[in-house]
Structure 1
Amino acid sequence: MLQKELDMKYRKQKPKKSHKRLRYALLILAILLLSATGFGAYAYQRLNPQNHFKNLQAIGGSPTSNYKAKSGVFNVLLIGTDARKGDPAGHTDSMVLINADLNKHTYNLLSIPRDTRVYMQGYGYTKLTTVQYISQIKHGTQAGIVDTVKTISNLTGVPINFYAETNYWGLQYMVDAIGGIDMNLPFDVTLTHPWYAEDNGLTFKAGTHSLNGKMVTEIVHERYSLPGTDYGRQQLQEEALIGIAKKIVQPANVTKYPALSNSLSNFLVATNMSQEDMISMGLGIKSDFHPNQQIHYRQVKGTNVVMYDDVLQANNDQVVLDSGQLQSVVQQYFTPDASN
């Protein structure tokens, strides 16, 4: 009965087609740049990142019991879903794990493919994109997010302190709210499965382009025309994130921070970050931020294979990440210098 229910619900989503499964690139590192909105209401010492981000708890418990992050260092998972208004659940389409070190002013990012083979507690092996959907159907919205965070934490061995979830409209709103961005394309991009039909076939040549929210979401959603498909898309995610970061720290946008802070619900579906967390993050980042030099995108290669999915009870295409490379990247960039 459960399998029949899941099959019906899952297949109901299928007609929305892959072109509606947006990657959005989770460019909401910009959220971390919401600066010192409302700062005057708080004591500086309490919100200083060295004091605020101290003895943090991992969501769902840490998979590495001997790991203790330094003060001012934390891990954030950015999630992008294909959920529609009125739908009880959505598939996780984009996952970007960020290690933010506000002491060294370095931000290491790791994109995790949506089709990555993972173990879902209580169900078995399945695609990462399925975890949130199934958990939301069975246990509710909040459980879906937490189970996704826990699954990625177990996959990578990285304790995750914060999460932020957005969707297509959230990213578009963010980019438009700051007046669009300049985005450097490392290669030609042709839109083969855009969100809007009128954009089908549009080609953007390699180089820098001034883009509004709609075009940014279309470009970071593209996959099939790119070198390396999913890995090419990850490069576009990096460039769009840097474009947002550069724009939001421009002096002309400082006056927009209060409005952005008060309209978080327009581009954030869910987060466990408090206003104080965001203010402290903004303080730490704003003090010395150079996106091109400080944002580093890491990749872990994977193998495309057809394997049995325990949740869907059928074979499907999955991505098996190189475990050795994953461990190396995690140890070097996501759990380094752990002791205080």
Structure 2
Amino acid sequence: MVRKNESGNSRSTLRKSKKRHRVLRVVLLSLALLLIAGTAYGFFEYHHLKPKNHFKNLTVVGGSSKKTGNYKEKAGTFNVLLIGSDARKGDAASHTDSMVLIHADLNNHTYNMLSIPRDTRVYMQGYGYTKLTSVQYISQVKQGEKKGIISAVQAVSNLTGVPIHYYAETNYWGLQYMVDALGGIEMNVPFKVTLTHPWYKRNSGKTFAAGVHKLNGEMVAELTHERYSLPGTDYGRQQLQQAALIGIAKKIMQPSNVTRLPALSRSLSKFLIATNMSTEDMVSVGLGVKGNFHPEKQIKYRQVKGQSAKMYDDLLKANNSQIILNKNELQTTIKKYFSN
């Protein structure tokens, strides 16, 4: 009897052991399938977000127009308009203070930039010719914040003949927050600058010699806002904006700042007033520049000269000073650096 019980117990123990092993195998198999599925999904997402796959058949802000008909789109490239406005908290509308058109080629790691002066003469649908700085303001007053941005983007697109896929707008405080979140930047100031119309009165008259300066957010924002003490006024401001963008890009890509990036992304609303770039778009850009980003070599700054002239402003119904960009120079620059 004892042996039978022992034998029965042994058989019972064996059955239980086999059952546990079957359960364990099922659990392990399930985990393996989940890992495989997760890896496959991750691979799909990585594959999907690679710039050549992600940036293709892009939507144009405001829709395509006849003036952008000669543009040939290429996978892995896109055009984005950076807008710097004078928006203050609580304002329903704002003027465009600066605009930078960027043609990003993530295949060849080149980023061509063209700053467009705020007083550039442009055509505004439904109104006629006016200053670029007025387009966003009037459209926002009449049709709301988003429509104002789209109108400004369309005005730049019509001026350059380039379709614009993305926009990102910031203001004085957004730029200040970003630089401070990075712990300040080094900015290579190309010429002597004296602050003549700063945001803060305490900074009036401050002077910066040409050369590299370590600056906080307030000083970077003040420098990129200055015009009147600069060689070429708006054109001098463009060079300062380029220096600031390069300084920010270099700081972001430092290994020590990798841990700051999640916090920066969560605080995006502090830096940007508006953008149509999705999280996926930004991740894809990150994949494109990862490990091969050298701002001073890859960010190329282009300028198109213009002449200041007293012109009739159809919007304001009066003569004012406007900048007329050299049409031939603009077309040559766009064809060479901003078209595919």
TM-score (norm 2): 0.86
| Structure 2 Cα separation of the partners of residues 301 and 79 of structure 1 | 20
| Structure 1 Cα separation of the partners of residues 81 and 107 of structure 2 | 20
The CA deviation at 1:64 is 2.1
Work out which of the residue numbers 274, 291, 294 in structure 2 matches 1:290: 294
Work out which of the residue numbers 75, 78, 95 in structure 1 matches 2:99: 95
- Counting matched residue pairs gives 298
The answer as to 2:266 corresponding to 1:245 is no
The CA deviation at 1:59 is 1.2
The answer as to 2:205 corresponding to 1:221 is no
| Structure 1 Cα separation of the partners of residues 44 and 308 of structure 2 | 50
- Is the 8 Å Cα contact of residues 122 and 131 (structure 2) preserved in structure 1? yes
- Describe the superposition over 1:227-247 as per-residue Cα deviations: whole angstroms up to 9, x where unpaired: 111111111111111111110
Work out which of the residue numbers 162, 176, 179 in structure 2 matches 1:175: 179
Work out which of the residue numbers 49, 66, 80 in structure 1 matches 2:51: 49
- Is the 8 Å Cα contact of residues 312 and 320 (structure 2) preserved in structure 1? yes
For 2:202, the equivalent position in structure 1 comes to: 198
The CA deviation at 1:77 is 0.3
The answer as to 2:161 corresponding to 1:157 is yes
- The one-letter code sitting in structure 1 at the alignment partner of 2:51 is P
- The one-letter code sitting in structure 2 at the alignment partner of 1:144 is G
- 5+ residue gaps, structure 2, are 1-40
TM-score (norm 1): 0.86
| Structure 1 Cα separation of the partners of residues 99 and 232 of structure 2 | 18
For 1:120, the equivalent position in structure 2 comes to: 124
The CA deviation at 1:309 is 0.5
Q: Greater Rg, structure 1 or structure 2?
A: 2
| Structure 2 Cα separation of the partners of residues 151 and 253 of structure 1 | 37
Q: 1:41 to 1:78 in 2, by over 3 A?
A: farther
Deviates more, 1:56-65 or 1:44-53: 56-65
The answer as to 2:231 corresponding to 1:231 is no
The answer as to 2:328 corresponding to 1:324 is yes
Deviates more, 1:60-69 or 1:170-179: 60-69
For 1:189, the equivalent position in structure 2 comes to: 193
Q: 1:179 to 1:313 in 2, by over 3 A?
A: same
The CA deviation at 1:57 is 1.9
For 2:316, the equivalent position in structure 1 comes to: 312
Higher relative contact order (CA 8 A, sep 6+): 1
Bigger proportion of residues as helix: 2
- 5+ residue gaps, structure 1, are 1-38
- The one-letter code sitting in structure 1 at the alignment partner of 2:179 is V
- The one-letter code sitting in structure 1 at the alignment partner of 2:45 is A
| Structure 1 Cα separation of the partners of residues 44 and 97 of structure 2 | 37
For 1:60, the equivalent position in structure 2 comes to: 62
The CA deviation at 1:67 is 2.4
The CA deviation at 1:68 is 2.8
Work out which of the residue numbers 137, 140, 162 in structure 1 matches 2:141: 137
| Structure 1 Cα separation of the partners of residues 135 and 286 of structure 2 | 31
| Structure 2 Cα separation of the partners of residues 185 and 139 of structure 1 | 39
What secondary structure sits across from 2:68 in the alignment?
Answer: coil
What secondary structure sits across from 1:97 in the alignment?
Answer: strand
- Is the 8 Å Cα contact of residues 192 and 207 (structure 2) preserved in structure 1? yes
What secondary structure sits across from 1:166 in the alignment?
Answer: strand
After superposition, the CA RMSD in angstroms is 1.4
| Structure 2 Cα separation of the partners of residues 54 and 205 of structure 1 | 44
For 2:285, the equivalent position in structure 1 comes to: 281
| Structure 1 Cα separation of the partners of residues 271 and 219 of structure 2 | 16
The CA deviation at 1:65 is 2.2
| Structure 2 Cα separation of the partners of residues 237 and 88 of structure 1 | 26
- The one-letter code sitting in structure 1 at the alignment partner of 2:252 is I
Deviates more, 1:53-62 or 1:168-177: 53-62
- Describe the superposition over 1:100-147 as per-residue Cα deviations: whole angstroms up to 9, x where unpaired: 000000000000000000111000111011111110111111110111
| Structure 2 Cα separation of the partners of residues 151 and 223 of structure 1 | 23
The CA deviation at 1:200 is 0.7
- Is the 8 Å Cα contact of residues 71 and 162 (structure 2) preserved in structure 1? no
Q: 1:317 to 1:260 in 2, by over 3 A?
A: same
| Structure 2 Cα separation of the partners of residues 88 and 204 of structure 1 | 34
Q: 1:40 to 1:173 in 2, by over 3 A?
A: farther
What secondary structure sits across from 1:86 in the alignment?
Answer: coil
- The one-letter code sitting in structure 2 at the alignment partner of 1:120 is M
- Describe the superposition over 1:263-322 as per-residue Cα deviations: whole angstroms up to 9, x where unpaired: 110000000000000000111012310011000110000100011111110111100100
